[in-house]
Amino acid sequence: MRKLKLGGYIPGTSLIHQLDPRTKLLGGLAVIIAILVNDSWPVLLLNTLLIFAVIYLAKINMKSVLQGVKWLLILSILTLVFQCLFTKGDPLFNLGPVVVSKQGIYRGGTFFLRLLILYLSSSALTMTTSPMKMAGGLEALFAPLRYLGVPVNQFAMLLSISLRFVPTLIEEAETITRAQKSRGAPFTSPKKIVRLKTSLSVLIPLIVGSLQRATDLATAMESRCYTGGPNYSRVKNLHFGRKDQLALGIIVVICILPLVYFPGRI
């Protein structure tokens, strides 16, 4: 878990950092919609290359981003095994009594690419957008929902705070784990029951610490007279410029056009 970078903002001056948060949110939404409505290989590969290009332009260390991919690889391997066991189709080869079909391989591969795109796009978004800008972008995009009585400001603040504390919770979980190991906690015991009970020694302090941190944050916000209403005095207002229009147009074209020429198999 300590290698997952989801939620960690990396300050920078790259082109991606300078884009309006609404551009990045809408672009990420376009990518997610494209891969969910279409499972053809050209669409998935094109969106994967698009996300890698965004990470490169953001000048983010690719190694730090890909450290969490191995967990996706393990999950995709398990999914591929289940797809090969339970998906019927054209047989490709046999592994004893198990018949591996082309359709099973196809579904397992597309599942991995979808998870990879979701992970990379969310990582690129949170690494290049500060929590306050994220909240401002969400608040601006959801502004029309105010007329329906939806508490847009509270929702945006809640989401930004959640993203902000993801890396903090991961770091705290690692600290508690090391402390328990130094006290002789049997995390590597061959017995699953023992390992499960040992995990509770990390989970319970983590939950208690999270609740205490939430209480302290609420007290701090109340002491600063935060009421949850619309904020009309932002230090930096959002600006949707030509760079944002061009970037959003490129992303939409890359995500939408392949859907026409490469129909999915869903």
Question: Do residues 44 and 258 make contact, with C-beta atoms less than 8 angstroms apart?
Answer: no
Average pLDDT of the chain? 79
60 and 113 inside one domain: yes
Q: Number of helices (H) and strands (E), helices first, in the chain?
A: 10, 2
133 and 27 co-located in one domain: yes
Tell me which DSSP letter residue 161 carries: H
Same domain assignment for residues 22 and 104? yes
Query: H-helix or E-strand containing 201?
Result: helix 192-223
- Contact 163/141 with Cβ under 8 angstroms? no
Indicate if 168 and 126 belong to the same structural domain. Answer: no
- Verify that 78 and 163 share a domain, yes or no: no
The answer to whether 9 and 126 are in contact (CB under 8 A) is yes
Q: What is the DSSP letter of 148?
A: G
Same domain, 131 and 257: yes
Distance CA 95, CA 77 (A): 16
Phi-psi label, residue 59: left if phi above 0, alpha if psi -120 to 50, beta otherwise = left
> Looking at the domain assignment, is residue 162 inside a domain?
yes
pLDDT of amino acid 231: 55
39 and 88: one domain? yes
* pLDDT 10s digits, 216-235: 988 988 888 777 665 555 66
Q: What is the pLDDT of residue 230?
A: 59
Range of the domain at 52: 15-143+240-261
| pLDDT on residue 266 | 45
Domain count across the chain = 2
Any domain includes 105: yes
With 50 as the cut, is the pLDDT of residue 108 above it? yes
**Same structural domain, 244 and 114:** yes
- CB burial string 11-35: b at 16+ within 10 A, e below: eeeeebbebbbbbbbbbbebbbebb
Percent of the chain surpassing pLDDT 70:
84
Question: Around 141, how many Cα atoms within 13 Å sit in the side-chain half-sphere?
Answer: 17
